[in-house]
């Protein structure tokens, strides 16, 4: 029987409202019995919920694992995807390829086969997902093990899981692959870079890439709220300095950040904080014509735009696009290059 061909970007799966892409849709079709000639269907092993999303869900459920599971099941049942209605964000999955449409198999550069294990590199906020059962919830690493299936569209990006590291390790790194790739692109030799949320996954990976780029004459300064985290981060070797400040308090961040940078404003800041109201802490310490990169999904465009205007800051603000060319390989290579980082990820996120 001839297979139906869906839209390259997945609009054939949109239920409501019609005319939008799946990320913007309120509800999408997660019927896995429908087989399109340009889709991939995967048996899902684990979901890595976006940090801002998981934090919101956990707080709303008072940390109760059963309630967290029920909320996730409710979201997916209602919307056909794992898109937090409060944060709007999703996450990613790892799974095993179960079905490949015939049109994809005809592509000369197509590199997948049924049975391959892959990590999706597109957000769960746009991915048709069906959960049959939640097997385990790992609150400390924002991960949910499930039995279920997910769809990847023709336009979707993914990465085959590498053979030289565990599934859990690869998933932990690929979950934030866009951030370190951008941290490689944005700085130049001698720049000063400020990283908010310096102790998280994206923070330490960004720190390593930025440190390589700025060289011996540059600075990469991390910001954390907990002073107990400072010695381990210094030992990790991904920051020149680490300061202790609350990222929801921009003047506090500004004063401490300038103090360790000889009173000079920064060329670039990277915001990896997974809580709201940290926009101005990323903007204030940056010089005019500098760059502010918001990787956090808790970022408010309104707060950032109006806040920068209100303090007279002429900075270029970049939305944290989760995709950058070769970002998967760049990120996995960080763990191959830096044994201390790999050990940290193995111990903390696997």
Query: Is 298's pLDDT higher than 90?
Result: no
74 pLDDT more than 70: yes
143-152: strand order across its sheet? 129-138, 143-152, 40-49, 91-100, 117-120, 158-160
CATH dotted code for 178-349: 3.40.50.720
What DSSP element (H or E) covers 183? Answer: helix 178-185
SS3 128: coil
What's the rounded Cα separation, in Å, for the pair 249 and 252? Answer: 6
Q: Would you call 328 exposed, middle or buried from its count of C-beta atoms within 10 A (0-12, 13-18, 19+)?
A: buried
Confidence of residue 68 (pLDDT cuts 50, 70, 90): very high
pLDDT tens per residue, range 43-64: 999 999 998 899 999 999 999 9
| Percentage of the chain modeled with pLDDT above 90 | 89
pLDDT tens, position by position, 1-38: 557 899 999 999 999 999 999 999 999 999 999 999 99
Indicate if the pLDDT at residue 172 is higher than 90. no
Please, are residues 274 and 55 in contact by the beta-carbon 8 Å criterion? yes
d(CA 91, CA 192): 30
Question: What pLDDT score does 146 carry?
Answer: 98
CA 88/CA 202 separation, integer angstroms:
19
* Higher per-residue pLDDT: 310 or 168: 310
pLDDT tens-digit series, residues 96-151: 999 999 999 999 989 999 999 999 999 999 999 999 999 999 999 999 999 999 99
Give mean pLDDT, residues 303-329: 91
Domain ranges of the chain: 11-161, 178-349
Question: pLDDT averaged over the chain?
Answer: 94
Structure tokens at 331: 């990120």
Question: Each residue of 212-245: pLDDT tens digit?
Answer: 999 999 999 999 999 999 999 999 999 999 999 9
């Amino acid at each position: 029987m001839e297979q139906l061909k869906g839209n390259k970007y997945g609009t054939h799966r949109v239920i409501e409202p019609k005319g939008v892409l799946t990320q913007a849709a309120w509800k999408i079709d997660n019927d896995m019995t429908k087989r399109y000639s340009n889709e991939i269907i995967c048996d899902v092993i684990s979901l890595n919920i976006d940090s801002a999303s998981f934090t919101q869900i956990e707080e709303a459920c008072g940390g109760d694992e059963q309630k967290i599971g029920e909320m996730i099941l409710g979201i997916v049942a209602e919307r056909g995807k794992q898109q937090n209605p409060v944060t709007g964000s999703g996450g990613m999955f790892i799974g095993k390829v179960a079905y490949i449409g015939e049109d994809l198999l005809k592509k000369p550069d197509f590199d997948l086969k049924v049975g391959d294990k892959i990590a999706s590199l597109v957000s769960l906020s746009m991915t048709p997902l069906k959960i049959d059962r939640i097997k385990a919830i790992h609150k400390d690493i924002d991960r949910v093990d499930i039995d279920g299936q997910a769809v990847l569209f023709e336009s979707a990006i993914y990465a085959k899981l590498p053979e030289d590291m565990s599934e859990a390790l690869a998933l932990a790194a690929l979950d934030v692959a866009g951030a370190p790739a951008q941290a490689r692109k944005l700085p130049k030799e001698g720049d000063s870079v400020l990283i908010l949320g310096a102790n998280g996954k994206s923070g330490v990976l960004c720190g390593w890439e930025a440190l390589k780029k700025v060289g011996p004459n540059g600075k990469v300064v991390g910001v954390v709220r907990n002073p107990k985290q400072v010695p381990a981060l210094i030992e990790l070797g991904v920051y020149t300095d680490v300061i202790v400040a609350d990222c929801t308090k921009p003047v506090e961040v500004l004063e401490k950040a300038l103090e360790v940078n000889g009173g000079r404003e920064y060329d670039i800041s990277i915001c990896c904080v997974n809580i709201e109201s940290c926009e101005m802490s990323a903007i204030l310490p940056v010089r005019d014509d500098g760059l502010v990169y918001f990787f956090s999904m808790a970022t408010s465009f309104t707060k950032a735009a109006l806040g920068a205007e209100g303090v007279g800051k002429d900075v270029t603000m970049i939305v944290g696009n989760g995709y950058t060319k070769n970002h998967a390989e760049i990120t996995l290579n960080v763990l191959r290059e830096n044994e201390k980082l790999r050990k940290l990820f193995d111990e903390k996120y696997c």
